[in-house]
Amino acid sequence: METTGSANVSVPCWVMFFRSRAPVLIPVRMSCLLSFKLSVFSTVLLLLCTRFVCCNNGRRVGDALDAEFSGFSVPLEHSFEVDDVAKFRVRGALVLKAGREPSVSLSQNQLSEEDRTKLKEVAAVDGLYRIRVPRVFLQADRQTERQMEGYLTAFVRACAMVESHLSDVIALHTDVSGYLIGVSIVTFPGACRGTEVEDEVDLEVFNTTLSIMAPVNAPGPETALFLERMEQELERKGKNPQEQKSFFAKYWYLILGGAIFLMATSSAQPPAGGDREQS
Amino acid sequence: MTDLFVDRLVICRRQQYVGKVRFAHFDMHVQSSKKVLVATEKNVFASLNTRTGEVYWRHVDKTGPEGNIDALLMHGQDAVLVVGNGRLLRSWDINIGGLNWEIVLDSGSFQSACFVGQQDSVKYVAVLKKSAVSLHYLSNGHQKWVENLPESETVQYQAVYSGGNGEVYTLGVVPHSHITIVAYSVEDGEIIKQISVDAPWLSNIQASCAVVGQGMLICADPATVSLYMLDLNVQSQMTQIPLQSLGLEVSPGFQPTVVSTQPNPARPPHSEFFVQLGPDHYQLLQLNNGQIVALRDFKPAMLVSFATTGEKTVAAVMAPKNKTGLYKSGRRLLDTTLIFNMDPNGGKPEKLYVQAFLKKDDSVGYRVMVQTEDHTLTFIQQPGRVMWTREEALSDVVTMEMVDLPLTGTQAELEGEFGKKADGLLSMVLKRLSSQLILLQAWIAHLWKLFYDARKPRSQVKNDVTIENLSRDEFNLQKMMVMVTASGKLFGIDSKTGTILWRHYLDNIPSNAAFKLMVQRTTAHFPHPPQCTLLIKDKDTGLATLHVFNPIFGRKSHITPPALPQPILQSLLLPLMDQDYAKVLLLVDDQYKVSAFPSTKNVLQQLQEMASSIFFYLVDSSQGRLSGYRLRTDLSTEMIWEVIIPTEVQRIVSVKGKRPNEHVHSQGRVMGDRSVLYKYLNPNLLAVVTESTDLHQERSFVGILLIDGVTGRIIHEAVQRKARGPVHLVHSENWVVYEYWSTKSRRNEFSVLELYEGMELYNSTVFSSLDRPHPPQVLQQSYIFPSSISTLEATLTEKGITSRHLLVGLPSGAILSLPKMFLDPRRPEIVSEQSREENLIPYSPEMPIRTEWFINYNQTVSRVRGIYTAPSGLESTCLVVAYGLDIYQTRVYPSKQFDVLKDDYDYMLISSVLFALFFATMISKRLAEVKLLNRAWR
């Protein structure tokens, strides 16, 4: 593996980041000191029975059915382990539907009793809840072309998953040609405050909001609109008679005043003997 | 304030460079000439002043092979250049640097060129290409004749030679078979003769042969350890002369070379020549009536060179005892030596250029220009005095940092008091008193100096900056610029005067090295010295080394950096500090193992505590893979996210995060209706730029991805259709600005993306990538830019209060300071009351280039490759360094100098008014009291 073109680019990434400046004794300018905070969370284990739920993307309610026959299904897998070594198991099935506006729906199982216990244990040690989906090419015609090697992975903190009562927002991102390039998961609310989840029912059913996003088209310079506006402005100026007045029409009183003033001054002081000098 | 006044006069400076010298010729046609003509590997042809080392004039050609200078020939006032692998033939007037003529040559790869003279005057230039030889008039460049070379498919023609006898010889070789010599008539290009001589040992004429004396080709053969002679005028066999018979020995495994001199192209070369017998062994030989005579042995000798003035030719030998010996060719021996000290931090000498001149008593004097491995030119006069040095390595700056200067001794003393641990009340009081005394003393000394200097005229007060009197000024405007150049030479340059304060050459730097410079400890932690670390990585193998040094003095640190046996993928400087206030550098190797530098117990303990919140990412552009990792407590790593962009469609061209030392003063923008729009200020946000692999102008696109570097969440994904790179990008605060080429409209366009959280802030006290569930609002707008650009950077100030400007390096050499205000996606198309309230400029699709925005006025910066910005101690001021072929340093004030009093500020008026008011109050108070008293009496 190699780092990119800008050879040694590296950006350290930090989870917690205070915007305030740490106090510096010596009056010298230095880069901001970052402070860190780690929250420790404790959770309580709860048990629940299982149920089946189906969840669609929320944007297009009717799509779930269409997708059944024209779309194709890929597994959505998750992993949460106390020792943080990823062991992915199936969480549900994503049904992807290609087309002009790709859509996605998800059918997923409930968390088993064992899983719930484990999730809480993982949350207690501030472990991660990871998900992954296989790389797929949405626009391919045949099933064999769709699947590609490798997975796209994402994570949230397990405690956030527990505290949000399994309400997560999963977004799948495609590129311009329909390749799945990334997956992201956030929970809502996203914070780990250490609140205890008492009710077992809360950790049973995933409350997933799902979406698939293609890149938006970045706007180019808006020349047409600008020109239109310019033309309108010109027209407005043309219609307005006040702007069209000529120089004399606008300032006739000034010119008249100036002329009268000149005449008055010249009549008061008649030129002293032009004739005499001529002779 | 006087300081500031002086500063403003010398506020910006430019230094011009030419690059590593490939050819150099002294101007010989006038006896008292002060010029040396250089052609460099940066495709620059320039004339330097030999007295001062300054550039008289300079011509910068295209970069890359198109502008490559293949040959430089000098005769009289004319300098003839072959440019672009034999594409162009140009003649320059060396006095004024004007172009005499330029002609386009026939296609074919360039081999060699030489002047052709007849009857003691030089009239033509012969250019040898792979399959043809042509003769051009020196006066106007017109072609006299062009002839195809016989059997050019099999014979490699490599050299062209003329001895002034009306013939032009082209020398070709069939490797390991024979030499072919074709002689053409100068008059009409007719082949006079064509001979072919067996030479099964020869493969390259230019590397091992030279013409000596009256047309005698002498070649050296390492296999049989002998010289071969061939008279070009008479067809004959090659005569073998074993070097043993001359009493000479060749170092084992060394390829001997022959060095001859032909001072006047209209005459045959001199009969004296050098043979290099070993890496530091030269032998001067003479060809005397067909016999080779050994004249003198030079060992050790690093470099040799010939120089001619008038009728006299001298040979110069540079010996490693730091001296240049001189040997005059001819009967008499003239042995003079010139001893000079080489910079111990420089490289080995590489080339020697000698300027010989006739003194008044008709003896020969000489000056020497030495080129060393670190691209330095040193010009030395006779008693060993270095007249000037030019650091041409600075024409190729790769990366740089600005480091604060240290405090003065007294300031440091005061700081030291706080730095030390408290040891008792009494000693603390004593310490405080002593430091106060020292301060008082320093202040009195300063006053005395001011008083003393005030009596002198201003022009005489000179502040020469040396490494001893370096200290920080009041506003921290003067800094040390640490520059890393591609040749591996490091420089410390004072930003105020531009003087090079220290230089350090790192030898054995791989040619394709990538550099990363990091400031591990600033000057703020007295008494610990500041510390910089340079990571040098071989791009092919990934193996890296660390060079740790003091940025103020350039000295290598006594701290031994860790050996790095594994290839390094990523390096990151953490804001964590060890007990000596050095920031921790983490290095990730190809096994995804992390090592820390410094790796003391304290650091490892801190790392263990912090491990779960240290994330980093790796980019593999060959597979389109972006992956995020988290540190574990045992310093191993685990992959936590992965985004894969298929390389069939697009490839990642750059990934840019934000600068870690950036401050954002306001968290939001006040809207026209007095509500606040909060900025999305994610310090971990990465801007990823991709370009489509399909380059068809209808289907090509540029992709912009905003990814959170911790969670791998794609915040925004956009494509700019019908666009192509090269993309220049700046990522700062809550915005990303990029520039691309629009293939549809055939123009350059700027686009700006701004991210906002909305009207409410999710969590105003702390930003965590793991806890920002709402995606930000993304606004975008694009503009037409009427010029292509070379580089893009944003200004940076101490607290981020000052408005931002973009610094755009244009190919014309100008640097444009473009207000960010013009790149604001909230610029309204239709002006409303609210947008007017908010001071938004109405949208117009074209971005203006106003000439008053050029911060370098007429001081253009050639081939600007990078702009570095650093904050100063004044909030209004940002320090800017533009580097490319030239280096240019200035200050910019994006919001004008709001925190500095004007030069013409009237102190007298203000203070007199204050005093007058003060006294008026006193008097009126007194009067009022008297009046009150009087009234009371009544």
Any CB–CB contact under 8 A between B476 and chain A? yes
Chain B CA closest to residue A127: B612
* Three-state DSSP state, A222: coil
Contact B523 A28 (CB under 8 A): yes
Of residues B128 and B342, which shows the higher confidence score?
B128
**pLDDT at residue number A245:** 66
Length of chain A: 279
Of residues B356 and B409, which shows the higher confidence score?
B356
Confidence of residue A57 (pLDDT cuts 50, 70, 90): very low
Chain A CA closest to residue B721: A217
Q: Are B524 and B638 contained in the same domain?
A: no
What tens digit of pLDDT does each residue of B504-556 get?
998 888 888 899 999 998 888 777 888 999 999 998 888 889 999 999 888 88
Q: Which residues of chain B are within 8 Å of residue A150 when distances are taken between CB atoms?
A: 642, 644
Q: Are B654 and B751 contained in the same domain?
A: yes
List B423's β-bridge partners, or say none: none
B80 CB-near residues (< 8 Å, 6+ apart): B71, B72, B73, B74, B89, B90, B91, B92, B113, B115, B125, B138
What DSSP element (H or E) covers A140?
Answer: none
Q: Choose among B819, B860, B826: nearest CA to B843.
A: B826
Chain A CA closest to residue B590: A1
In a domain, B28, yes or no: no
Domain hosting residue B494, numbered range:
396-406+470-561
A2 has a pLDDT exceeding 50? no
Report the pLDDT averaged over residues B722-726. Answer: 89
Whole-number average pLDDT of chain B: 86
The C-alpha atoms of residue B347 and residue B678 are separated, in whole angstroms, by 55
Report the pLDDT averaged over residues B18-41. Answer: 87
Interface with A, mutate which of B411, B613, B797 (most A CBs under 10 A): B613
How many angstroms separate the first and last alpha carbons of chain A? 106
State both tokens at B33: 């000439």
The C-alpha atoms of residue B65 and residue B43 are separated, in whole angstroms, by 9
ipTM: 0.77
**pLDDT at residue number B570:** 87
**In angstroms, what separates the C-alpha of B143 from chain A's closest C-alpha?**
46
**In angstroms, what separates the C-alpha of A271 from chain B's closest C-alpha?**
50
In a domain, B698, yes or no: yes
**Are the beta carbons of B191 and B175 closer than 8 angstroms?**
no
A22 has a pLDDT exceeding 60? no
List B112's β-bridge partners, or say none: B128
Any CB–CB contact under 8 A between B681 and chain A? yes
Report the pLDDT averaged over residues B258-266. Answer: 85
Q: Choose among B753, B698, B754, B752: nearest CA to B724.
A: B698
Q: Are B401 and B527 contained in the same domain?
A: yes
Which of B617, B644, B671 finishes a domain?
A: B644
Interface with B, mutate which of A6, A13, A129 (most B CBs under 10 A): A13
**Are the beta carbons of A169 and A187 closer than 8 angstroms?**
yes
Length of chain B: 938
- Whose structure tokens read 């070993």? B278
Query: Using N-to-C axis directions, what is the helix angle for B425-454 and B409-419, rounded to 10°?
Result: 160
Edge-first strand listing for the sheet containing B291-298:
B257-259, B272-278, B281-288, B291-298
**pLDDT at residue number B83:** 92
The C-alpha atoms of residue B175 and residue B178 are separated, in whole angstroms, by 7
Q: Choose among B198, B165, B204: nearest CA to B183.
A: B165
In a domain, B8, yes or no: no
Q: Which residues of chain A are within 8 Å of residue B709 when distances are taken between CB atoms?
A: 11, 13
**In angstroms, what separates the C-alpha of A150 from chain B's closest C-alpha?**
9
Which of B530, B561, B592 finishes a domain?
A: B561
Q: Which residues of chain A are within 8 Å of residue B655 when distances are taken between CB atoms?
A: 4, 6, 9
Q: How many CB pairs under 8 A join A and B?
A: 268
Helix boundaries (H) for B194-285: 205-208
The C-alpha atoms of residue A134 and residue A179 are separated, in whole angstroms, by 11
Q: Choose among B16, B53, B23: nearest CA to B41.
A: B23
In a domain, B666, yes or no: yes
State both tokens at B613: 């919140």
Q: Choose among B570, B538, B29: nearest CA to B264.
A: B29
Across B263-284, b (16+ Cβ under 10 Å) vs e yields bbbbebbbbbbbbbbbeebbbb
B846 has a pLDDT exceeding 80? yes
**Are the beta carbons of B355 and B367 closer than 8 angstroms?**
yes
Q: Which residues of chain A are within 8 Å of residue B618 when distances are taken between CB atoms?
A: 1, 3
What tens digit of pLDDT does each residue of A241-275 get?
555 667 777 788 889 999 999 998 887 555 444 44
Q: Are B400 and B530 contained in the same domain?
A: yes
Q: Are B700 and B667 contained in the same domain?
A: yes
B803 has a pLDDT exceeding 70? yes
List B57's β-bridge partners, or say none: B47
What tens digit of pLDDT does each residue of B873-897 get?
899 999 999 999 999 999 999 988 8
In a domain, B181, yes or no: no
Interface with B, mutate which of A14, A167, A188 (most B CBs under 10 A): A14
Give the dihedral sign, CA B796/B802/B805/B807.
negative
The C-alpha atoms of residue B47 and residue B40 are separated, in whole angstroms, by 11
Report the pLDDT averaged over residues B79-90. Answer: 91
Q: What is the 3-state secondary structure (H, E, C) of B780-839?
A: EEEEEECCCCCEEEECCCCCCCCCCEEEEECCCCCEEEEEHHHCCCCCCCCCCHHHHHCC
Of residues A146 and A182, which shows the higher confidence score?
A182
CATH number at residue B692: 2.40.128
Contact B703 A36 (CB under 8 A): no
Contact A12 B614 (CB under 8 A): yes
Any CB–CB contact under 8 A between A140 and chain B? no
In a domain, B494, yes or no: yes
Q: Which residues of chain B are within 8 Å of residue A84 when distances are taken between CB atoms?
A: 632, 638
**Are the beta carbons of A191 and B763 closer than 8 angstroms?**
yes
State both tokens at B299: 């060992």
List B442's β-bridge partners, or say none: none
Q: Are B402 and B530 contained in the same domain?
A: yes
**pLDDT at residue number B303:** 85
**pLDDT at residue number B411:** 64
Closest Cβ–Cβ partner in B523, B710, B773 for A13: B710
Q: Are B612 and B738 contained in the same domain?
A: no
In a domain, B541, yes or no: yes
B766 has a pLDDT exceeding 50? yes
Q: Are B662 and B726 contained in the same domain?
A: yes
Interface with A, mutate which of B644, B719, B733 (most A CBs under 10 A): B644
Contact B780 A218 (CB under 8 A): yes
What tens digit of pLDDT does each residue of A108-127 get?
888 888 888 888 888 888 88
**pLDDT at residue number A50:** 27
Q: Are B542 and B595 contained in the same domain?
A: no
DSSP 8-state class, residue B900:
S
State both tokens at B328: 């005059």
In a domain, B729, yes or no: yes
Instruction: List the 148-207 stretch of A: residues with Cβ below 8 A of B.
Output: 148, 150-157, 160, 169, 171, 173, 175-177, 179, 181-182, 184, 186-192
DSSP assignments along B392-420, one per residue: GGGGGEEEEEEEEPPPPHHHHHHHHHHHS
Q: Are B636 and B545 contained in the same domain?
A: no
Contact A152 B718 (CB under 8 A): no
Of residues B435 and B724, which shows the higher confidence score?
B724
Q: Which residues of chain B are within 8 Å of residue A39 when distances are taken between CB atoms?
A: none
Domain count, chain B: 3
Please, is B451 exposed, middle or buried when counting C-beta atoms within 10 Å of its C-beta (0-12, 13-18, 19+)? exposed
Q: Are B624 and B548 contained in the same domain?
A: no
B839 has a pLDDT exceeding 80? yes
**In angstroms, what separates the C-alpha of B20 from chain A's closest C-alpha?**
24
Contact B641 A18 (CB under 8 A): no
Q: Is the peptide bond before B269 cis (omega within 30 degrees of 0)?
A: no
Confidence of residue B463 (pLDDT cuts 50, 70, 90): low
Q: Are B669 and B746 contained in the same domain?
A: yes
The C-alpha atoms of residue B623 and residue A1 are separated, in whole angstroms, by 9
Task: Name the pTM for this structure.
Answer: 0.82
B222 has a pLDDT exceeding 70? yes
- Whose structure tokens read 């911790």? B710
Report the pLDDT averaged over residues B735-757. Answer: 93
Which of B521, B542, B561 finishes a domain?
A: B561
State both tokens at B493: 């340059």
Confidence of residue B462 (pLDDT cuts 50, 70, 90): low
Q: Is the peptide bond before B383 cis (omega within 30 degrees of 0)?
A: no
Give the dihedral sign, CA B402/B403/B404/B408.
negative
